[in-house]
Structure 1
């Protein structure tokens, strides 16, 4: 699983595990994708040229550590 952001001027297609057709990312769009081939040379070339950004997906188990304001009429 990877978080991919398309920074290219055009759309980019990615083969995703379990999908019958490639997933199209429009310019500026980000998505968490389970790529069919994580070592795809085309994805590596796009990343090396800066056309896409490949990152680890955000950790869902991390909670928001910012302090939340108490509801009206309640103490902190």
Structure 2
């Protein structure tokens, strides 16, 4: 489960943040006005969200920019 992967320093990755909030990729992608395949690329580290998408992710996931940056930096590349 995603909660088991949360460490003292933060979340393991963007997928864990999403799961902790109870969103599917499809649900979160709708909230941030993107597609599910694009969100999947962000979670896999193959692409990075735009600034507008970062703001939307921050709002939807109820995290700080620092927490979001940490989660994105832990996504596989």
Which TM class, normalised by the smaller chain length? 0.3 to 0.5
**TM-score scaled by length of structure 2:** 0.34
Structure with greater Cα Rg: 1
TM-score normalised according to structure 1 size: 0.34
Higher strand proportion, which one? 1
Q: Is the helix fraction higher in 1 or 2?
A: 2
